[in-house]
A and B are shown apart, each in its own frame.
Chain A
Amino acid sequence: MSNVPADLSYTKSHEWVRTLADGTVEIGITDHAQQALGDLVFVEVPEAGRSVKADEPCAVVESVKAASDVYAPIAGEIAAGNPRLAAEPEVVNAEPYGAGWLMRLKPSAGALAAAALLSAADYRKLLEAEGSS
């Protein structure tokens, strides 16, 4: 049911990662994650310049129902948080892989290679195993 674009990498905690041309990575939550959360009403993204470790909580997405942490998939320095989401959190529901990106991050040396990311095929398997694809 949920959309899993083939050109992205994923985490077990339902973030996606897109490598950009300048070497930074763009990070968001997956279509499955936004569906599970329901209508988002509050998103807090990290400030540019903040250093994050892999698996460190660095953003918050809250729906009417619940609050959920978003974890840094890769160690590095935050290049930007998506400024649009403060006023329009619902963009994450509408375009989780596009305008609803949460943050851009400059990976630390070697961090991208060290990150435990999943391919689209593996993430799909994870969703199937969770009984929620």
Chain B
Amino acid sequence: MARRTPLYKLHQELGARLVDFAGWDMPVQYGSQIGEHHAVRRAAGVFDVSHMAVLDVRGGAARTFLRQLLANDVARLKAPGKALYSCMLNPQGGVLDDLIVYFLNDYWFRVVVNAGTRERDLAWIRAHSQPFGLEVTERTDLAMLAIQGPEARTKAAQLLRPADAAAALALDSFFGRELGSWFVARTGYTGEDGFEIMLPAADAVPAWRSLNALGVASCGLGARDTLRLEAGMNLYGNDMDESTHPFESALGWTVALSSQERDFIGRAALESIARAGSARELIGLVLEERGVLRAHQKVLAAGGQGEITSGTFSPTLERSIALARVPAGTAGRVQVEVRGKLLGARIVKPPFVRHGHSLI
């Protein structure tokens, strides 16, 4: 049977359409998916992201271990609470997962990984942490809510005691901190401002109801996907996986090669790819005709064939957008095979939408 988050019954009560997502019964939408999308771009929405795994890595060697485990360099995390986005690679440089790591103190880092890779990640992290004498704890006691949109922070802060609310509102982008039993971070996956809040499972339902009462819309994974794609953010399993490396996944910016002595897993493979130059790259596409771009559609470019990795209709732009993996150096216009027809599309640099505004 599929796993359920602490909010499962509430989703049912709110009339959500529940689907299987990576082995979890998750809400895809409550009413109109496009309506939920617009709520986040224009005001605020709340998502249940409790299916993601929260791992606490504790011990004196936590930083040393994570510098070996991750392609981005946690040495960049100097201020407590600071977050870093990173890939976790296999020795061939393939992406095992993308994740966020928070530096809480010298003995405690918090890592948030994808639901679909939860078990594999946990096994990988536990195995590689063995020599470091660390404690790796899966925080199944926590639920996670993402509250996103231009009004998200001020609405969510109303759930906190005044002193905590002030502290939450003072957080800089990509910082988090513990406020009582809650961990509040100014992060997200929508291209809007907002918080991601990790909280005891028992607090999740009352928090959600209070947010609804404040006018924050319940939003499902459907809207989450169109929002992240407009924001030009990759989805693990669609836009990159074990068979693709960061340089062909528009994630070169997350690979830290500058520190020569840091021998992270996948480094040797990435260095040789960087020397030779990546043969493929991940780019953004805007469809210039009517229709909808979808994952796995074929892309025809001057330099050869490519493939859409994520595609959708963009509710903000009212046209179809996509991420596609194409031969390196592809520029200008391409054609996409959409249901047996060749349609014209234009290459753009993601993000497509940021803070409610079109960037294309």
- Chain A residues engaging chain B, CB cutoff 8 angstroms: 38-39, 41-42, 44, 60, 62-65, 67, 86
Q: Which of B27-35, B236-244, B256-264 contacts A (4 or more CB under 8 A)?
A: B27-35
| Contact indicator B226/A67 (Cβ below 8 Å) | no
Q: How far is B289's CA from A86's CA once the two chains are assembled, in angstroms?
A: 12
Q: A42-B290, A42-B292 are in contact. Are A62 and B33 (CB under 8 A)?
A: no
Chain B contact-residue range equals 10 to 19
Q: Tell which of B28, B33, B290, B339 touches A67, judged by Cβ atoms closer than 8 Å.
A: B339
Instruction: Report whether over half of chain B's contact residues are helix, strand or loop; otherwise say mixed.
Output: mixed
Chain A residues near B35 (CB-CB < 8 A): 39
**Residue B222 interfacial (CB < 8 Å):** yes
**Residue B291 interfacial (CB < 8 Å):** yes
**Residue B312 interfacial (CB < 8 Å):** yes
- Which residues 1-58 of B have a CB within 8 angstroms of A? 28-29, 32-35
**Residue B325 interfacial (CB < 8 Å):** no
| Contact indicator B315/A64 (Cβ below 8 Å) | yes
**Residue B110 interfacial (CB < 8 Å):** no
Chain A residues near B313 (CB-CB < 8 A): 41-42, 62, 64
Q: How far is B291's CA from A64's CA once the two chains are assembled, in angstroms?
A: 11
Q: A38-B32, A41-B292, A41-B313 are in contact. Are A64 and B339 (CB under 8 A)?
A: no
Q: How far is B320's CA from A74's CA once the two chains are assembled, in angstroms?
A: 32
Q: How far is B28's CA from A86's CA once the two chains are assembled, in angstroms?
A: 26
| Contact indicator B222/A65 (Cβ below 8 Å) | yes
Q: How far is B222's CA from A61's CA once the two chains are assembled, in angstroms?
A: 18
**Residue B294 interfacial (CB < 8 Å):** yes
Chain B residues near A42 (CB-CB < 8 A): 290-292, 313, 320
Q: Tell which of B33, B290, B291, B320 touches A39, judged by Cβ atoms closer than 8 Å.
A: B33
Chain B residues near A60 (CB-CB < 8 A): 339
| Contact indicator B294/A64 (Cβ below 8 Å) | no
Chain A residues near B32 (CB-CB < 8 A): 38-39
Which 10 pairs show the lowest CB-CB distances between chains A and B? A41-B313, A39-B34, A62-B292, A42-B292, A64-B33, A38-B33, A64-B313, A39-B33, A39-B32, A42-B291
Q: How far is B313's CA from A41's CA once the two chains are assembled, in angstroms?
A: 7
